[in-house]
Amino acid sequence: MYKLDISLEQYNFLMGLSGILCAFLLCLFVFLVLSKL
């Protein structure tokens, strides 16, 4: 079985990337809701 040996730097990078993506989508959603008011 292949070793799940992704380094901590790669893991932190992926978590940061998905965090930024989630924040961007959240901001976009809030902006759309506010613009409809």
4 is a domain residue: no
26 is a domain residue: yes
22 is a domain residue: yes
**Vertex 21: Cα angle to 3 and 34 (nearest 5):** 160
Instruction: Please state, in angstroms and rounded to a whole number, the distance separating the CA atoms of residues 26 and 33.
Output: 11
2 is a domain residue: no
Domain count, the chain: 1
3 is a domain residue: no
**What is the domain range of residue 15?**
11-36
* pLDDT (0 to 100) of residue 25: 97
* pLDDT (0 to 100) of residue 9: 85
1-37 residue pLDDT tens = 566 676 888 888 999 999 999 999 999 999 999 999 8
pTM listed for this prediction: 0.61
28 is a domain residue: yes
